[in-house]
Amino acid sequence: MIKGMAYWLMKSEPDVFSIEHLRHKKVAGWDGVRNYQARNNLRAMRKGDFAFFYHSSTKSPAIAGLMEIVREAYPDPTAKDPGWDQVDVRFVKAFVRELSLHEIKRISALQKMVLLNNSRLSVQPVTPGEWKILMDRLDPQND
């Protein structure tokens, strides 16, 4: 892990925009965020940071993929009012086996994850320790 790098988790309903959509687009603007806390997290992202792509509001919500921040916050063109930003993300991979919310809840070292304690926040930080535990499960060959 590179020192100073930050890690994130970003939610999207797969019916609207999924990891497979991102695979095909390769790079996409992460638009539509209309929550101040989520927006502030977007603004804290730096080029080169990594983020999990989380599928929300589905039968089995889960971490589905990995992406990289390739452009830092800039105005969201889909926002009617000023003050809302987006970042650009690049597809890195879709995990062969997703890690479901149900499984995450059963990992004792992850009980403090924002995901488990502020379930409505759509853009959230992941600590380096949490990131490693998750990556070890999601991508055991790599890393």
- Name the residue nearer to DNA (CB basis): 5 or 103: 103
- Name the residue nearer to DNA (CB basis): 119 or 128: 119
Concatenating the DSSP letter of every residue in the chain gives --TT--EEEEEE-TTTS-HHHHHHHSEEEE-----HHHHHHHHH--TT-EEEEEE-SSSS-EEEEEEEEEEEEEE-TT-SSTT-EEEEEEEEEEEEEEEEHHHHHT-GGGTT-HHHH-TT-SEEEE-HHHHHHHHHHH-SS--
Query: What's the min distance (Å) between Cβ of 48 and DNA?
Result: 24
- Name the residue nearer to DNA (CB basis): 26 or 100: 100
Query: What's the min distance (Å) between Cβ of 58 and DNA?
Result: 7
Query: What's the min distance (Å) between Cβ of 124 and DNA?
Result: 9
Binding site for DNA (CB under 7 A): 11, 13, 34-37, 56-58, 61, 101-102, 105, 118-122
- Name the residue nearer to DNA (CB basis): 78 or 118: 118
Query: What's the min distance (Å) between Cβ of 55 and DNA?
Result: 8
